Structures are given as C-alpha cells and as structure tokens.
Structure 1
Amino acid sequence: MPKTNFCRDPAKEQNNLIRERIAGKLAISGYEGPELARRSGMAVSTYYDRMKHPEKFRIGELRAIYRTLNIAEDDMARTKII
C-alpha cells in the first residue's frame, strides 16, 4: 500500500526545521542560548519559550536571530519559514 501525506503535519515539520537550523548555527557560532538572545534583542526567558514553542516566534524575532547567526537569506530552510 502506498504511503500518503494525510497524517503529515506541516506545522510540526516547520517547527522542527526552525529548532534544527537555530541549534545547528548556534553550535557552529560558539554562542550559547542566553548570548544569542541578548545579541538578538530578546529576553532570555522569551528565547527559551520560543525554542520550546517555535510557532510563537514573531517574524522580527526570527529575522534578528538569523541575522545574528549569519543565516543567508537564500538559505532553503529560511525561505521555507519566512
């Protein structure tokens, strides 16, 4: 029987993509969560809440984080999200 996409949750996939992209670039950059939050202009508690629940991210917050982590605008993961 062929597989279908009926049970696939695109929102969950996007949330995972956001977490993975930020965590990956965070590891490469050498920053830690609190430092990234401060450099992006966010409260540390807000940053951790957004990472637990990526659907709560505002566009401006994501852009600030991506700018801080030097994620290019033509990055495939970024264009799928924003």
Structure 2
Amino acid sequence: MSCPIPYEQRQVQVPLEVTREVAELLTDLGLSLRFRPDGFLTAVIRFGLQGSLDRLAITHAELRFSNNRPDKVQWLEMCWRLPIHSHPRLQN
C-alpha cells in the first residue's frame, strides 16, 4: 500500500520577461521547477533545512528581479533589524 508524500509548491513571482533566467538560476540551486501554461514558474519546496533554503532562494530571486522598489526596501530594512547573534553558530 503506497502513501503519497505531500509536498509544498510555490509560484515564483517574477516578471514574465525574466522567467527563463530565473528558472536557470533556481535550477542551478537545486530546485525542481515547472513552467505553467500561463508562463509562470512553480517550484517544489523540499522538506526540512533544504526547504528553508528553497524558500530563501525563491524570495531572493523574486526580490532581485522585481520591479517593485518598495518591496526591496522593506525587505532590506527587515534584514537590517535582524539580530546578528540569534543563531548559536554565529556566536563567538
């Protein structure tokens, strides 16, 4: 008896003119992608730490290729406020 493994999918929100470039970038980072009929990309998010890295790569690509400057500024301001020593490996 087989039990299907549920997985998360996420649409990659980038302008259509850069879809191919983003697909190459994310594929090089190990993500599994699917081109939808409307031209957009959908990524399969892995489990665990790899899934966190997948989400980070997608968010980075979305911001990198975004035409929305306020989103970029908001993201950078949020990163600036993050504590630097929040992870044990980052502490001296």
TM-score range, shorter chain: 0.3 to 0.5
Q: Of Structure 1 and Structure 2, which has the larger fraction of its residues in helix?
A: 1
**Relative contact order (C-alpha < 8 Å, sep 6+): which is higher?**
1
Flag the structure with larger Rg: 2
Q: TM-score, normalised by structure 1?
A: 0.32
